[in-house]
Amino acid sequence: MSTGTYRQWVSRATPGCVVILLDRSDSMKLPWGATGGSLAAGAALAVNNILLDMCVKATIEVNAPVRHYFDVGVFSYGARITGPGGEGVESAFGGALAGRGLVPLPELAANPFAVRDEPSIDAMPVSVKMPVWVDPVHGYRTPMCQAVEVAGAHVFDWAAAHPDSFPPIIINITDGMVTDSPYQGATLQDWVKRLTAIETSDGPALFFNIFLSPTDAHEVVFPNTPAGLPLPGPELFALSSELPPTMVENARADGYDVRPGARGLAFNVGRSTLLRVLQIGTRVPDRSR
Amino acid sequence: MHAWQVVFSAPKHGNDPWEWEDGAAAAPEDPATGRGPRFAVADGATEGFGSARWAMRLVEGFVAADVELTERSLLGWARRAQDAWRHDPVLSGASGLELFKLDSVGSLATFLGCELELGPRPRWRAVALGDTVLFHVRGHRLVAQFPSIAADDFGTNPAGVPTAPTALPGALGRVDFAEGDLAAGDLLYLATDAFAHWAVREDGPALWSALAGLDHPERFRELVEDRRAAREMTNDDVTLMRISVAARRPDQLVVCV
C-alpha cells in the first residue's frame, strides 16, 4: 500500500518530476508486431510522443515560454552511445541535451535534436512532424539495477529540492529480464525499495513498469494481482507502485477496468497501449479545464 | 435603484498575477437601448491554449455586444468571439508548438453572464455554461444559487464555451438561464468554481457577512491562501465579483492601487 496522499497539484512552485528508464538491450531490436519497426523504434517514438505531450500541456499562450511544470529525465540502459560505449546507463537525450540528467520542461521544449516525419503511433497510414529527443538504440544486456540506481540519485536530489511537490514518477520501459541483479550487493527489489523510499511531503516516489511484447500477446494493464502473469510479470508486479487515486480516475476515464489495489504495471503491451499508459502514468493532479 | 461591482481575484498558488486565466467584465446600463447593467465572469481552461484571452474576450464581448439572453443570440455572439480569438493578431508570432496546440487543443471557458433590470420591478437575469456560479444574498442569507450545483458535483461538469467551431452548437445546447427579483441592499456574487465550491460548503450568515465586508484585494488573497493552505479550497485561479444593489449610489469610492 502506498502511504502518500498524491494530491499536490503541478505548478511552477511545485513542479513534478518524470523519469523514464528506457531499455536499450539487444532484444529491443526485435520487430514489434505488424508495425515493421523494432521494439526500440516503437519505444523511442512513444517516449518522444509523451515528451511532446508534456511540452504541449505546458504551452499556454503565444509568445510565452513553456511553463516549468516538470523536470524530465530519460535514462537508457543497455547499449551506450556516448563515452566509451559498451554496456551501461546514460542519459538518452541527444543533441544539446546529451548527457543531461533531469531537464526543466522549457529547456526540453527548446532542444529537440531533430524534427522528423514520424509514423503515427497508432500505425495509421499517416505521418506527422515530430520533435525528437530520443533515438532508437539496442545492444548488450539489461542492466536494470544500475538504471534504477542512476535514476535514484537524480530523484533523491530533486525530492530534496522540491519537498512539497507531487512525488517523482519513474516509468521503466523494458522487454526483458534484469541481467545485473544483484548489483553492488543489492537485488533489483532492494534498488527499487531504495528508490521508492525517496519521498516528498505528498508521498513516496512512484515506480511503474511497462513490459513490451514483440508479439500480439494478451495485454494486461494495471492489474491488481500477479496471478496469471507469465514471467517476469509477477516480479514486475511486486516492484510496481500502486496507482494513486487520480491516476486510477484517469485510467478509468480512458476505458481501463481498474480495480482497487491496481499497480502501475502494463504487461505485453503494444505500441498504442504504451503511449496510453505513459499518458496515464505521467498525468498528475491538475485542472481538467 | 443602482448597482456597482468590485472584482477580487487571485491566481493559482505558484503563478504570477498576470497568469490568472479567468475573465471578469462589467458595463453600465445603456440609456440608448434601455439595457440594464451587465456583468460577466469566465474561467479559462488551465490546459487550454490562449485561455486568458478567450475568457476575457467572452466577458468583454458579452457586456458590450448586442446579444440577448437567448440560446440563438448567444450562439451568434460566441461565433463572433471564436472568430476574433482565432484571428487575434498576436498569433502572427506563434511558434510551431503554439500553433499545434491552438489547432489541436484550443481552449474552453465556463461562463456566467448577468443583466440587471433596475426599473419598477428590479430583477436579475443570468445565463450560465459550466460551474461559474451566481449567488444572490439578502441580509447575509443565500436567496438563490445559479446554477444549482451541489458541493459534491463541482468538477464533474465539463461544460463551457469552446474555441472549436464544430463544438459550439452542442456546447451552447447546454446553456442554462435563470432570473430572480432584487431588493435594495441585495448582493450578487459571481464566483469561479474553486471559490464557488468552497462557498457552497460554507454557506451561512458568517460566510456572507465576511464576503460583504471584504474591502481590499489583499484581504481577499489572504482569505484564499488561508483556505488553500487548509486544503478547503482547490488551487485554481479564483475570481469573485461582488455586485451591490442599492437605492442610492455609495457616498465614497475606494480605489486600491
What is the band of B256 on the pLDDT scale with cuts at 50, 70, 90?
low
pLDDT at B43 > cutoff 90: yes
Instruction: Compute the radius of gyration of chain A from its Cα atoms.
Output: 17
Contacts of A9 in chain B (CB under 8 A): 12, 234-235
pLDDT at A1: 46
Q: Do A59 and B50 touch (CB under 8 A)?
A: no
- The ranges assigned to domains in chain B are 2-246
pLDDT at A289: 35
Picking from A11, A55, A57, the nearest residue to B47 by CB comes out as: A57
Q: Mean pLDDT throughout A84-89?
A: 93
Pick from A11-20, A247-256, B4-13, B247-256: least confident: B247-256
Report how far residue B62's alpha carbon sits from residue B27's, in angstroms, rounded to the nearest whole number. 9
Q: Grid coordinates in use for A211?
A: 513490459
- The ranges assigned to domains in chain A are 16-282
CB A187, CB A38: distance < 8 Å: no
Q: Which residues of B touch A (CB under 8 A)?
A: 12-15, 19, 21, 43, 45-53, 90-91, 93-98, 100-102, 104-105, 108, 110, 130, 155, 158, 160, 231, 234-236
Q: Grid coordinates in use for B106?
A: 484550443
* Higher local confidence (pLDDT), B180 or B255: B180
Picking from B13, B90, B234, the nearest residue to A62 by CB comes out as: B90
Q: Which residue of A has its CA nearest to B89?
A: A62
Q: Mean pLDDT throughout A18-38?
A: 91
CB A285, CB B43: distance < 8 Å: no
pLDDT by residue (tens digit) across A228-243? Answer: 898 899 999 999 999 9
pLDDT at B18 > cutoff 90: no
CB A76, CB A90: distance < 8 Å: yes
Give which of A7, A55, A62, A288 to mutate to test B binding, by max B Cβ within 10 Å: A62
pLDDT at A286: 65
The verdict on ipTM greater than 0.85 is: no
Pick from A20-24, B112-116, B235-239: least confident: B235-239
pLDDT at A215: 81
pLDDT at B22 > cutoff 50: yes
pLDDT at A97 > cutoff 80: yes
What is the band of A265 on the pLDDT scale with cuts at 50, 70, 90?
very high
What is the band of A256 on the pLDDT scale with cuts at 50, 70, 90?
very high
pLDDT at A288 > cutoff 50: no
Q: Do A63 and B45 touch (CB under 8 A)?
A: no
Residues 6+ apart with CB under 8 A from B18: none
pLDDT at A118: 76
Report how far residue B207's alpha carbon sits from residue B232's, in angstroms, rounded to the nearest whole number. 14
pLDDT at B250 > cutoff 90: no
What's the fold here for domain B2-246? Phosphatase 2c; domain 1 (3.60.40)
Please tell me what DSSP assigns to residue A163.
T
pLDDT at B198: 97
Q: Mean pLDDT throughout A83-97?
A: 95
Q: Mean pLDDT throughout A241-268?
A: 94
pLDDT at B209 > cutoff 50: yes
Give the closest residue to A105 by CA, choosing from A43, A51, A156.
A51
pLDDT at B60 > cutoff 90: yes
pLDDT by residue (tens digit) across B130-175? Answer: 999 999 999 999 999 999 999 999 976 679 999 999 999 999 999 9
Give the closest residue to B172 by CA, choosing from B57, B76, B49, B50.
B76
pLDDT at A126: 61
The DSSP code sequence of chain B is: -EEEEEEEEEPPTTS-GGG--EEEEEE--BTTTTB--EEEEEEE-TTSSSHHHHHHHHHHHHHHS---SSHHHHHHHHHHHHHHHHT-GGGGG--HHHHHHHHHT--EEEEEEEEEE-SSS-EEEEEEESS-EEEEEETTEEEEEES---GGGTT-----EES-GGGHHHHHTT-EEEEEE--TT-EEEEE-HHHHHHHHHH-SHHHHHHHHT---HHHHHHHHHHHHHTTSS-SS-EEEEEEEEESS--S------
Kindly report the backbone phi and psi dihedral angles of residue B214, in degrees, each rounded to the nearest multiple of 5, phi listed first: -60, 125
Instruction: Compute the radius of gyration of chain B from its Cα atoms.
Output: 18
Q: Does domain A16-282 have CATH number 3.30.70.270?
A: no
* Higher local confidence (pLDDT), B17 or A189: A189
Q: Do A289 and B101 touch (CB under 8 A)?
A: no
Report how far residue B133's alpha carbon sits from residue B192's, in angstroms, rounded to the nearest whole number. 6
Query: Within a 13 Å sphere around the CA of B12, how many CA atoms are in the beta-carbon half?
Result: 22
